[in-house]
Chain A
């Protein structure tokens, strides 16, 4: 049974596939053996008709992608070569916007801040997520649905609301300082978002809080996929939970770590909402990120060309880093 069914199915597929190809422009081919015709079809990309059909299937997605991703992106690149305030007639600026963007010290420090956020948005949540996934989301993982839901909640809250909430929590009389006072640490309380040393860390930890749930869910799903016999084997070999984690769970989650790293690194580099709402880049310029500067350039300063140039530079940087991440994870697997 088990051997005949698939072969039957394959036959049917071949025959069905042969049909349209056989009816193709040259009528005499209908007589050709079905096997050969199917082979020709499989070599398909060269055949105009099948290509046309393939494009037809791709068309809706391609049209949407072109309209809402490709064209705006090209438009952004186009605008980056102009000196334009968004209203009056722009003038060509050549590469001046790029020169301005790449030599501005404020911009360089904002990129350093964004790179630093990778620690808070990516590394910390991934490390904590792995730990939590191993502890609460291990084999058979439905044991802690409540804590999993609670940890995932930040992901479904709009980031602006997240920012507003944390702004209150970090304020002079906010819950963070109340908690510190309650445990006798009143001496270190401060308005966290107004402190030149701590504002950056405070904002970064909001990112950790948001990203942790996502990492946890991804890793937990990955753990369910790991062959249980590996855990049994590890246990038979006398591995404890820690050894089991490093020998089985961690290697098994390599692909998931790659996914989590990609998503979180993008949100670290493209971060805007949380920073804009909590500190607006301050105090001083201690938490400015490229996203905030792009917004300021375009909407406050009326330098749309420079904003677009910065956006192009930022997306190129993100693309490079994501490419590097995917290469590294591919080499490992």
Chain B
């Protein structure tokens, strides 16, 4: 009887161990069970003739992809597009699981490359790029954002992993009523911009509206870095090119400027406690001459303050300086485990048609191609956004978001930006913290 007890305990332990999978060799190491599917083989641009379903997972909620899917179905009635939406936060968290499951979708939106390339979860799109000639249809700066080395650490070069389905660009919105009242023209140089801020402050208007609860002061910082250092140099840093640093002339200028603006009262008192939507709402109600924000808010701003708001790329040192803008695209990748990769590629190719361009534009994105053919209602700020977008593209001035450079940069920009505005850190320490995060992420 006394012997039974230990035996049973041993049996229980064995059961426990077996159940945790600790005994199975491939279960010993986490992630050991994941196998990547073969992604080589010939590709075809022909569409299936029978009925087929294209599964798309996405966190894009502007309705763009859905509208594109309907248009694609109308064009090819035998193809049904199954669009599955998940909210942005949950989407990124569950994406890797979806991609590695046996029922992987045919197309998946990528908010960032993250670990998808390193984990062999997405297909190299180079064969399709050649088959469809995407490299001639898109500006290289647009496709380069979704290129990466095979370990996913160096961006901007290597194979193409996702194709764009619509762009956003960050610039400066300005309140036309306040500008007219104070006799301020559209600033064409950095000096004119600073003069406008001083004039607004003197007249009792808030110079720059800002919500920094989630770290959007990074838009101000990056706009200045981009324009002072130029898009190419800043782009290298964002893309993780070895030896890059943010502690440059532009970096120092940007951090000092943000800190000065806070000290001079150019920023709202409660910036650190206000989120981006909160600052947009305040701006449309007339609080703030300028607002650094992206094209995704153009429609909200249009609705709340129709005809009262303009948009410009952040001005450079002189009027002839090249325009820069912060921006990236919603992009779709073909999972390595997709069962219909050719069909998925055909849908990606559809994104660069004039028909798709109008759909992307009217749902709030800047089109991937044919930007000159899309139309917005007269008086809409979207027209100025499109003009700025055209200028940025002509000058090859598009730079991906600082926050996208590595996994932790968004948290660092938020925490450090709040401290800089709150006077709890210095411009030097701010830049050092950003660079330390960058080194950790790109080593």
Contacts and interface: CB of A to CB of B under 8 A. Distances in A.
Interface stretch (B77-85, B111-119, B222-230, B370-378): B111-119
Interface in A250-303: 279-285, 296, 299-302
Given A89-B32, A191-B273, A194-B270, A48 B4 contact: yes
Contact of A194 (B19, B212, B282): B212
A3 to B, nearest CB: 40
B30 A90 contact: yes
Contacts of B419: 283-284
A195 B114 contact: no
Contact of A71 (B20, B29, B92, B213): B20
A301 B408 contact: yes
Given A75-B20, A87-B34, A89-B31, A284 B424 contact: yes
A79 interface: yes
Contacts of B275: 167
Majority SS at the chain B contact face? loop
A167 B214 CA distance: 13
A172 B268 contact: yes
A283 B118 contact: no
Given A79-B30, A279-B213, A191 B274 contact: yes
- Report which residue of A78, A193, A196, A284 has the largest number of chain B beta carbons within 10 angstroms of its beta carbon: A284
Interface in B398-422: 407-408, 410-411, 414-416, 418-419, 422
Nearest to A71: B20
B138 to A, nearest CB: 29
Contact of B118 (A88, A191, A199): A88
Contact of A190 (B269, B407, B424): B269
A309 B187 CA distance: 53
A282 B31 contact: no
Nearest to B215: A282
Contacts of B100: 87
Contacts of B410: 300
Contacts of A196: 422, 424
Contact of B213 (A91, A194, A301): A194
B29 A74 contact: no
A192 interface: yes
A66 B418 CA distance: 44
Given A88-B119, A283-B419, A296-B411, A191 B34 contact: no
B10 to A, nearest CB: 15
B115 A194 contact: no
Question: Interface size bucket, A side?
Answer: 35 or more
A82 interface: yes
B31 A190 contact: no
A86 B121 CA distance: 13
A46 B93 CA distance: 51
Contact of B96 (A86, A90, A194, A281): A86
Contacts of B19: 66, 71
B19 to A, nearest CB: 6
A304 interface: yes
Contact of B16 (A66, A279, A282): A66
Nearest to B214: A280
Interface of A: 46, 48, 66, 70-71, 74-75, 78-79, 82, 84-92, 167, 170-172, 190-196, 199, 279-285, 296, 299-302, 304
Nearest 3 CB-CB pairs, A to B?
A194-B273, A191-B270, A191-B273
Given A46-B1, A281-B415, 18 more contacts: A71-B20, A82-B29, A82-B30, A88-B34, A89-B31, A89-B32, A170-B273, A191-B270, A194-B272, A194-B273, A195-B273, A284-B415, A284-B425, A299-B93, A300-B407, A300-B408, A302-B114, A302-B115
Interface of B: 1, 4, 16, 19-20, 22, 29-32, 34, 92-93, 96, 100, 114-116, 118-119, 121, 212-214, 268-275, 278, 282, 407-408, 410-411, 414-416, 418-419, 422, 424-425
27 contacts: A46-B1, A48-B1, A66-B19, A74-B16, A84-B31, A86-B96, A86-B115, A87-B34, A87-B100, A87-B115, A87-B116, A88-B31, A88-B118, A89-B31, A89-B32, A190-B270, A193-B272, A194-B212, A194-B271, A196-B422, A280-B213, A281-B415, A284-B424, A296-B411, A299-B92, A300-B410, A302-B407
